[in-house]
Structure 1
């Protein structure tokens, strides 16, 4: 644990989220120094407490770090009043329920902001707070499908695939965090809070590059292409004697360096491969040439050549590789967090790295629902429980 306070020191956040999207937004703000008070349903708590893989699922330890757990029954009048009292003292409220849920619980953001005009309310949902689909249930995978991501992931002769992580949820949470930071800046000038409306499908849509623009301009639809991107070559995973290795040399100068490392500098002058468009048009042919070369070497041998040649390339890492890598260690990309039940947990650190006000993990995830209720109510509201 560290005593570093972070750039958002002094900012108070009430998190009413559950599962991934809302809580990940809270994690990001907490990592940057904000105080995160998580309201959990008594006894059951957030289902994320039980998510993860292996016989000791530990996702909760990551997503709930830097948070305080307060037990509140939001379905009861007393619980709703307690939530209102806490929100009145907060700078930011995060929620990721279906639109209309807060209003049903007598926690309409418009009413909350009458009591606390500077309140910023981050609302993360599947389809946003408005529009004909707003009332629909929407998980991350649905947002990925609607936003276009699922349709382009996988191989053309197989159904759409997914990433191995919940990218739609985390993108929507990240955009919610960005919105909160922008709203804090606006509040610093005006004193006024506002609503941040982050939709899962729109967060995915934002990172879809020129998918819509290309169709609008030329009627071109991006399709599933496996491990490659059409027209971007060479940029693929290539076989070695002991595994696979990723090489990205699709820029002209970089490709020339790759060709020289292959012992075939003439490829960079060959009209079939000399330009970006030419390489893209002969993507399969070029990939086959490179694969014939890479499979004669081990990953270590190939990596040494790529480093020497200055070609962007890298191993395909899993968690074990990350823990063993000296670069991860040097940059503290992975950190150790003490845990009452599991001893110590290794997890990702704080990103991005700020030079003057770096983020930190100041406290581990709360292991018991409501374990911090008394402390928070006394400190925030002056109440004894």
Structure 2
């Protein structure tokens, strides 16, 4: 049985992270994803981060299950090829600067007229409207303006970032959600295709919980808090005797009581002022000191074992080495053994989410540049002599 998106055709006109990650997620669940790449260079992601025999390992992951078609969008024939692809597509995903596709003659008005059922996911730094529309925007800027960088880091330190391209990935997830909602509307006959306008800034901002009403009504500005979770206690990172760290989330009322009894503080477990989160939040520093007084006298594994017996959520902070060695990751098929084109064995992340009847799958790793140009053009009805002419004239590779 094919994936739940089998029969859905997606045209990806994007580079690097946001649009390609969104298209990858759809490809893993059965969508036929055709990635448009520029001749000669292709997606710059092919050369990002760590390389193996000249190709990025990230590329093989980010572009799995996709077809690579090299098209010169500066040529009239190249633009016409994309129009023909869009005429039979369900979704176009792009992350160019706003207005760039319009300059190529591939804007929403043009593609919507060709295919009224088409959904167009447009991912950009600031969105397709507003005074910042034309500014260049990367995920890092989205994280900064979306509010998450200001609240991340040590209390007395500079704003920090997480070690991955979080802003881009959040925009990708919002793009996929919007695409699926639009597809549902089209497939159930409720309307035509539409534009899904995704901003990197807004995708980050959408995760910022009660940040705005706290400021607007109470004048409260949420600041950096290190490993703690402001206003929710106790929840923090605690040092152990062997210089390790454990994350403990003892912030529900019954869990808090179990945690306090475990660490030998029944007085805190039975204190009416600490019975609920609002009271605990006022004394979070005291609670963290009490927990640290216990964890700092026990080895990491002993702390985790005791917390598990007490049914208190806790965990070590994993490195990638910990992840690869973990039996739960392995049991959940989150470490897939595969091969690169040259035959080198390599592990890749598994697929999320897990669907019981129509799970996602990896059919192939990221393709070579232009690997599917000929086959896709043939599917569009181009004769062999026409494909050769397009190659000679530089419209395709």
TM-score class, shorter-chain normalisation, is over 0.9
CA contact (8 A) 1:39 1:69 kept: yes
Deviation at 1:90, TM superposition (A): 1.0
Query: Where do residues 232-247 of structure 1 align in structure 2 (5 Å cutoff)?
Result: 232-242=232-242, 243-247=244-248
Change in CA separation of 1:307 and 1:277 when aligned onto 2, cut-off 3 Å: same
Deviations 1:306-355 (A, max 9, x none): 11110010111111111111111111122122211361221221111111
Query: Where do residues 195-214 of structure 1 align in structure 2 (5 Å cutoff)?
Result: 195-214=195-214
Deviation at 1:99, TM superposition (A): 0.2
Distance (whole Å) between structure 1 residues aligned to residue 52 and residue 81 of structure 2: 36
CA contact (8 A) 2:33 2:67 kept: yes
Distance (whole Å) between structure 2 residues aligned to residue 383 and residue 214 of structure 1: 63
Q: Give the stretch that moved more between structures: 16-25 or 233-242.
A: 233-242
**Corresponding residue number in structure 1 for 2:28:** 31
Deviation at 1:178, TM superposition (A): 0.4
**Corresponding residue number in structure 1 for 2:60:** 61
Q: Give the stretch that moved more between structures: 54-63 or 293-302.
A: 54-63
**Corresponding residue number in structure 1 for 2:333:** 332
**Corresponding residue number in structure 2 for 1:216:** 216
**Corresponding residue number in structure 2 for 1:185:** 184
1:13 equivalent in alignment to 2:18: no
Distance (whole Å) between structure 1 residues aligned to residue 112 and residue 261 of structure 2: 64
Deviation at 1:262, TM superposition (A): 1.6
Question: RMSD between aligned alpha carbons?
Answer: 1.5
CA contact (8 A) 1:172 1:203 kept: yes
Q: Secondary structure at the match of 2:149?
A: helix
Q: Secondary structure at the match of 1:341?
A: coil
Distance (whole Å) between structure 1 residues aligned to residue 107 and residue 383 of structure 2: 24
Q: Give the stretch that moved more between structures: 279-288 or 342-351.
A: 342-351
Query: What is the TM-score when the length of structure 1 is the normalising length?
Result: 0.95
Deviations 1:24-77 (A, max 9, x none): 110111111101110000110101111224777411111111111010111222
CA contact (8 A) 1:88 1:115 kept: yes
Deviations 1:165-202 (A, max 9, x none): 11111111110100000000000123621111011111
**Corresponding residue number in structure 2 for 1:152:** 151
Deviation at 1:163, TM superposition (A): 0.9
Q: Give the stretch that moved more between structures: 347-356 or 201-210.
A: 347-356
**Corresponding residue number in structure 2 for 1:279:** 280
Distance (whole Å) between structure 2 residues aligned to residue 55 and residue 83 of structure 1: 31
Distance (whole Å) between structure 2 residues aligned to residue 59 and residue 227 of structure 1: 29
Deviation at 1:383, TM superposition (A): 4.0
Unaligned runs of 5+ residues in structure 1 are none
Q: Give the stretch that moved more between structures: 335-344 or 90-99.
A: 335-344
Change in CA separation of 1:381 and 1:305 when aligned onto 2, cut-off 3 Å: farther
Change in CA separation of 1:287 and 1:55 when aligned onto 2, cut-off 3 Å: farther
Distance (whole Å) between structure 1 residues aligned to residue 248 and residue 7 of structure 2: 45
Change in CA separation of 1:133 and 1:342 when aligned onto 2, cut-off 3 Å: farther
1:164 equivalent in alignment to 2:171: no
Q: Secondary structure at the match of 2:150?
A: helix
Change in CA separation of 1:54 and 1:253 when aligned onto 2, cut-off 3 Å: farther
Query: What is the TM-score when the length of structure 2 is the normalising length?
Result: 0.92
CA contact (8 A) 2:22 2:173 kept: yes
**Corresponding residue number in structure 2 for 1:140:** 139
Distance (whole Å) between structure 2 residues aligned to residue 365 and residue 27 of structure 1: 10
Deviation at 1:132, TM superposition (A): 1.1
Q: Give the stretch that moved more between structures: 242-251 or 271-280.
A: 271-280
Deviation at 1:286, TM superposition (A): 1.2
Distance (whole Å) between structure 1 residues aligned to residue 324 and residue 59 of structure 2: 20
Q: What is the aligned counterpart of 1:52 among 45, 49, 70?
A: 49
Deviation at 1:263, TM superposition (A): 2.8
Change in CA separation of 1:21 and 1:231 when aligned onto 2, cut-off 3 Å: same
Unaligned runs of 5+ residues in structure 2 are 388-397
CA contact (8 A) 1:40 1:69 kept: yes
CA contact (8 A) 1:235 1:247 kept: yes
CA contact (8 A) 2:84 2:380 kept: no
